[in-house]
Amino acid sequence: MSVTEKDLYRDTPVRYLGYANEVGEAFRPIIKKIFVHASYAVSIGYVLADTADKSRKQYAKPEALGGGPRGAAIATGDTLLWQMFASVIIPGFTINRICWISKKALSAGKLKGPLRKWGPTAIGLLAIPFIIHPIDHGVDYVMDETYRKYVK
């Protein structure tokens, strides 16, 4: 990819589709589970689209530059693993637990009304911007020490 070429899946608002499951998890306390599951479908669809895009681009490169079938297979594995962990699994679990703890804490405080109902969702939504970069960096580190170290 050239320096000026934008990556549709990482450098544009399309990237936010990868966070749909985090929003779904934040709303879990107040919406039906089908909508939470649908948010995962959006995120996983984003992951699969990004994986297909990276694989296709890697395959099109000359084999001397890491292209062809082997390069595409490595790119597929790297993108799929990274995106599933950094965009779906870890953030979804993290927001789920933040909302669960928030709900327990607000219930223990004997709060009633809108704050008790909407509090966990608000806390979950507010947490999203704070968890993204640490999770991304953590997944990068683990990928660098495992998958990327052994497939190159």
Q: How many domains does the chain have?
A: 1
Q: How far is CA 1 from the centre of its chain?
A: 22
For residues 7-34, b (16+ Cβ closer than 10 Å) or e, as one string? eebeeeeeeebbbbbbbbbbbbbeeeee
Domain that holds residue 26: 13-150
106 within a domain of the structure (yes/no)? yes
**pLDDT per position as a tens digit, 119-132:** 999 999 999 999 99
Task: Examine residue 34 and state whether it is found in any structural domain, yes or no.
Answer: yes
Q: Is residue 85 part of a domain?
A: yes
Whether 108 is covered by a domain: the verdict is: yes
* Three-class secondary structure assignment of 21-51: HHHHHHHCCCCCHHHHHHHHHHHHHHHHHHH
Residue 5 lies in a domain: no
Any idea what DSSP says for residue 17?
G
Q: In this model, does residue 3 exceed pLDDT 70?
A: no
**Whole-angstrom distance, CA of residue 147 vs CA of residue 88:** 18
- Mean predicted lDDT score pLDDT of the chain: 93
pLDDT of residue 108: 87
**pLDDT tens digits for range 65-98:** 899 999 999 999 999 999 999 999 999 999 999 9
Tell me whether residue 2 is in a domain: no
For the whole model, what pTM was predicted? 0.89
